[in-house]
Amino acid sequence: MGFLNPDRSVLPRAALVIGGASEAGGSGEAFEHVYPGTAEVTTQLRLANADDVDRAVAAARAAAPAWRALAGDRRRDLMLRLAALIEEKAAEMIPLLSIENGSIVIAGPHMSADAAQKFRYFGGWADKIEGRTVATWGGPAHDYVSYEPYGVVGLIVPWNGPLFAATMCLAPALAAGNCVVLKAPENAPFSIMKLVEIIGLAGFPPGVVNLVTGGPDVGAAMVAHSGIDKIEFIGSGATARKILASAADTLKPVGLELGGKSAVIVFADANLQGAARRGLAGAVSANGQGCVNGTRLLVERSIYEPYLQMLAAMAGHIKVGDPLAMDTIMGPVISEASLGRIQGMVGGGVADGARLVCGGERLGGDHAAGFFLPVTVLADVSPGSAIARTEVFGPVLVVTPFDSEEEAVTLANDSEYGLGAYIHTTNLARAHRVAGQMMAGQVQVNGSGEAMTPCVPFGGMKRSGHGRLGGIEALREFQQVRNVWVNLQD
């Protein structure tokens, strides 16, 4: 069966929204967006540049005093209205998620519902922001703490899950009383363009949310801009280093959610079928391009070969193909360059002694033009090899045996990353004991991503970043603390 043709007529038109005004393109270079399923150009965008960032920042700063002063119940109602509109317009949003980066269309309803849920959850916080009083000594005084918005926040989000990442930052930033300059990634901009369009329909004041679509130069202009008070970045460690170096000039605070090489520990007492199915999710979720995906599988030796056999059998049933087809379970990676890099890493793993269990070869036939790689499993992977220590960002799992709980913990923590960790066991005491030793920001027991909800904190340790998105912690991520001390003696 041939590929479904992406309907270009559904693509949103506004690549920039500044001060409430929609603009078809910016002042920067032209960019051709490529659909990963067929390598065809869908549209050409005129990207933003530094001058457009200046205009967006000016609009946000002009809107900031009124937005900050707006009563919490008013911000709440706007965010609840936005959540309802996202649900109402889900059918318009869903195809964009597939066209922009090859995400499977059957995941679209969940992604749009998740976006709505974030605004509903953080809208519920908007009218509940309160401070606290502090007991003092040394004389009669009244001391209190208040939580204040930064003012203007710059949000830079990645191409692999732009709607998910944008709403994870945008909802708490708005609830806290900040105005926003949001950068949509040039190679996957459409869902964010649609989101900002819906924000305007919801009645948000002009300038509260400003959109600039662009590449690294636009992000760099945002980080360096003296009119942006804080940067929140989701992306790679290499880019994060550049951001931190630039932000040092203005002493701008930066929140970072970066990459991962998340360990999946499978103990012999685990539900083997469930552990294999959830282990497979590390390769399949987001077409293997998820920062928190569990891609480094550590399996107790007594079940090692049965687990591998089950994993390979399940992988053989994963339908890889057209992202717009309803029976597709896994789509393409983002680009030709990414596919070549991933295959090179797989080849390097085999050269280092790993055993190729399944996958590894680019799909041909009807899929030859697209950027498709099936689920790829490498076994007997040395913990010190490059494939075991480097984030692949593709549908590749590496599997290593262990002999004891202590060895499993040591192997899991032997990584420069610390975003996620997954533990599979039916022993509750072991689950808590091992979870308490994981150097990771989010630990899931007998799970594979179910904890990624708006009400729980998410973020990394070590080189996976700092700061938290989700829960009350995300609200605090976009607030500053003010302390006021009042002398009651004079």
Catalytically annotated residues:
257, 291
* Distances, alpha carbon 419 to alpha carbons 222, 261, 401, in Å: 26, 8, 22
Q: Which helix (H) or strand (E) holds 461?
A: strand 461-462
Please enumerate in sequence order all residues whose Cβ is within 8 A of that of 261, keeping only pairs 6 or more positions apart, or say none.
295, 296, 388, 389, 390, 391, 415, 417
Q: How many CB atoms lie within 10 A of CB 488?
A: 9
Relative orientation angle of helices 237-247 and 216-224, to the nearest 10 degrees: 30
Those residues with Cβ within 8 angstroms of residue 81's Cβ, 6 or more apart along the chain or in another chain: 202, 203
Task: Name, in order, each residue with C-beta under 8 angstroms of 375's C-beta and a sequence gap of 6 or more.
Answer: 280, 283, 284, 288, 315, 318, 320, 330, 358, 359, 395, 397
**Cα(374)–Cα(377) distance, rounded to whole angstroms?**
10
Bridge partner list, 266 = 299, 424
Q: Strands (DSSP E) along 374-416, which ranges? A: 376-379, 396-402
- DSSP string spanning 292-360? T-EEEEEEEGGGHHHHHHHHHHHHTT--B--TTSTT-SB---S-HHHHHHHHHHHHHHHHTT-EEEE--
The Cα 68–Cα 63 span in angstroms is 9
Q: What is the DSSP string of 46-85?
A: E---HHHHHHHHHHHHHHHHHHHHS-HHHHHHHHHHHHHH
Host H or E run for residue 224: helix 216-224
Q: Which of 20, 98, 24 is nearest to 58 (CA)?
A: 20
Residue of 263, 294, 300 whose CA lies nearest to 278: 294
- In DSSP terms, 141 is beta-bridged to 487
